Copies of this chain bind each other. A is one copy, B any other.
Amino acid sequence: MAPRIASTATDAVAEISDGSTILIGGFGNAGQPMELIDALMECGATDLTVVNNNAGQADAGLALLIKERRVKKIICSFPRQSDSWHFDEAYRAGEIELELVPQGNLAERIRAAGAGIGGFFTPTGYGTLLAEGKETRVIDGKGYVLETPIHADFALIKALKADTFGNLVYRKTARNFGPIMATAAKAAIVQVDEVVEVGSIDPEHVITPGIYVDTVVALGGGK
């Protein structure tokens, strides 16, 4: 199914409801779907589980969702930053649940969800606090931890361009979590700089095939 082309970011996130699990792309500002996050803020959905590499910074985007206690749980690799004060406060108040995951396991768990893998043995985290309570196994003399897929209801991601079939290309390190998050959500909502005609992205260069994309909104900008 060709994706829905939403007219605004608000329209794009309109179906997100309370209690949803949402994958949010981006690493630092690169690939962060700022406008979609702002629209999520406006739309009022609460009781959310959010998966992102970080836990929000300063007074914008994800940090505001956390400030407003709209996020009940965050799954991330690096919540603590110099300007993650809203997360810090919510966490210390016991008002947000944190599932801390090594970054590569986070990425692989998201990929596993998209790929229909039920679980996988990873060496990362073996013997550490983050493996506590998890199944472990020594394979060929090396220790591994069993990690499980992270499925989600929605993914909010940013790409450079989409064609009208939803095929995506990204830009430089802004690619980061986008391609795997698109595969792991029931519905991937993508903000792009522009939507182009089908046929204008070389099939060899497509990074996310349109099958993974449900909603696209063009927000201009970009280089």
Contacts and interface: CB of A to CB of B under 8 A. Distances in A.
Interface of A: 108, 112, 115-123, 137, 139-140, 142, 144, 148, 169-172, 203-205
Interface centre among A108, A119, A120 (most CB of B within 10 A): A120
Interface centre among A115, A117, A123, A142 (most CB of B within 10 A): A117
B115 A123 contact: no
Contacts of A204: 169-172, 205
Contacts of A172: 203-204
A137 B118 contact: yes
Contacts of A117: 108, 120-122
A115 B119 contact: no
Given A169-B204, A204-B169, A205-B204, A121 B120 contact: yes
Contact of A121 (B119, B144, B170, B203): B119
A148 B144 CA distance: 13
Interface centre among A123, A148, A169, A204 (most CB of B within 10 A): A204
Contacts of A169: 204
Given A169-B204, A204-B169, A205-B204, A120 B119 contact: yes
Contacts of A144: 118-119
